[in-house]
Amino acid sequence: MVRLKKLGVLYIQLDPDYDDEYFLGSVKHHFTEYIENYRFTPAFRSGRWNGKISMYNGFKRTLPYGLLTDLIRFQKEEYPDLKLVPDKDVLDMFKNPKEYEINWDLKYFPRDYQRESAEVVLKYTKGIIRSATASGKSLIISYIIKTLLENRATKHNLIIVPTISLVEQFKSDMIEYGIKPDLIGQVYEAKKEFDKPIVVSTWQSLSTHHTYLKMYECVICDEVHQAKAYEIKKIMEKCINAIYRFGFTGTLPSSKIDLWNIKSFIGPVLREYTAHELSEMGYISKCNVLAINVKYQNEYDGEYNELKEKIFNNKFRLNLLHHIVSSVDGNILLLVGKVEKEGELLKEFLKSKQYKNKEIIFIHGGTDVKEREEWRKECEKRKNIILIATYGTFQMGINIPSLKYVALASPFKSKIRVLQSIGRSLRTHADKVNGAVVFDIIDESKYLLDHGIKRSRYYSSEGFNVIEEVIEEGDNIIDLVPMMLKKIS
């Protein structure tokens, strides 16, 4: 028998009978994994580290509380004859002592999956909801906090978001839903409204204001996939009175370590709703990926960044982006990774094409938050904007329901970055009769071809409609994009 005890706010301690101590070694092995790109770290190269991280602390015999269900699953599969006996206070960590009736009386009545999400998190008090980007996670969160406040279960509720833009947008969304403005405070560089019943803050701002964290009974981490594990851990440790701890995301990471880190101090994944499921139900737009495989005349070589820069500067590839922009019938978002070497370069190249009645805008990390918001609103009013943006600025949470076209102008392999970026176009809108359209240039070269193959796997796992064409550098591409667009049905 292995007894499970609660240790502090965030950990579960394993206390085995003498004969079951061998189980602890298996637990450590199971919850140990290589980190991504460990071979390139100085510590690994020097022989000082084996490249692995373990979620299990062998000295204290502890696991983060959020991995309890993973531990139970491991025990049932590998040690079915062994008994795990959780103490009552461990079980109480995942069970609300009261049942709350939710009044669905905000401006927007929730969809079935939104109601189910709100109900399940209030039942278990801790956990993660993975709901595809554009599925209305802010409405779910608003109903959860509204219910807690109405039932006097909490006095202070904290919502953590990754960027200042999302602090502003989240407050705006909640007010639109019907939450009173004077209940909502904001915390970032320009504002420090910690004492409001609902506080929206970036985790960066909270990392320097730990003294306020003990007042919150509920902590919700939006876009939880983006959370820096170490910072979120520190924040959660300081929220000693937070009975309710939730995370929301449209995308969960593929690597075990990254997923474990997210679950550790939030809780298990309670519900998952994929983009394909929600589009089939008509809640978000269908996603069409137009994948263009480009074969180059010359073989590019060099280190990753050098090679990627050379390919981005390739005139044939830049002209392909130009033809994509000129072939669409509305606004288009082109996502890049670097400000000067990609964003500014692409902006100047497209300006040289002198589009009629189209305006080219570039938004990046250095762009003022108010200016970003102004252009977001402009994209709702107009259909002649070519919006270039860095992935970090526009991949998360930016709400432009009418946005139909997205181009991944700079290639990446990160599952989260790719799927979150695509999510910018998945909100339903009258202009999206046949769904949203994502252009992906798959560069057949060293490094980048492998990245393209990984992106294709993500599209398959999400159930996106993929239309693929292969072209060679030098081919006539004037009719390529219109021809691919006609195949969407």
Say which CATH class 2-92 falls into: alpha beta
Lowest mean pLDDT of 87-91, 215-219, 399-403, name the range.
399-403
Does residue 416 have a pLDDT over 70? Answer: no
Does residue 128 have a pLDDT over 60? Answer: yes
Q: Which of 97-101, 127-131, 237-241, 258-262 has the highest mean pLDDT?
A: 127-131
What pLDDT score does 461 carry?
A: 79
The percentage of residues in the chain with a pLDDT greater than 90, rounded to a whole number, is 49
With CA atoms as reference, report the closest residue to 252 among 462, 441, 14.
462
At residue 411 the predicted structure's pLDDT band, cuts being 50, 70 and 90, is confident
What average pLDDT score do residues 434-441 get?
88
At residue 138 the predicted structure's pLDDT band, cuts being 50, 70 and 90, is very high
With CA atoms as reference, report the closest residue to 146 among 124, 117, 115, 174.
174
What is the per-residue pLDDT across 152-186, written as a single tens digit (0 to 9) for each? 999 999 999 888 878 888 999 999 999 999 999 99
CB 397 within 8 A of CB 221: no
Domain covering 283-486: architecture: 3-Layer(aba) Sandwich (3.40)
How many Cα atoms within 13 Å fall on the side-chain side of residue 124?
19
127-273 against 283-486: fold identical: yes
What is the per-residue pLDDT across 362-374, written as a single tens digit (0 to 9) for each? 988 888 877 877 8
Four-CA torsion 400, 406, 411, 415, nearest 10 degrees? 60
Distance between CA atoms of residues 74 and 80, nearest Å: 9
CB 483 within 8 A of CB 475: no
- Domain-wise residue ranges, the chain: 2-92, 127-273, 283-486
At residue 146 the predicted structure's pLDDT band, cuts being 50, 70 and 90, is very high
What pLDDT score does 286 carry?
A: 81
Does residue 22 have a pLDDT over 80? Answer: yes
Within 10 angstroms of residue 457's Cβ, the number of other Cβ atoms is: 11
Rounded to the nearest 10 degrees, what angle do helices 304-312 and 315-327 cross at?
A: 60
What average pLDDT score do residues 250-271 get?
88
CB 380 within 8 A of CB 175: no
Q: Which residues, listed in sequence order, are joined to residue 184 by a DSSP beta bridge?
A: 198
Amino acid at the residue 246: F
What pLDDT score does 424 carry?
A: 63
Fold held by 127-273: Rossmann fold (3.40.50)
What is the per-residue pLDDT across 291-342, written as a single tens digit (0 to 9) for each? 999 999 988 888 888 899 999 999 999 999 999 999 998 889 898 989 999 9
Q: What is the strand order of the sheet 2-7 is part of?
A: 62-64, 11-16, 2-7, 84-86
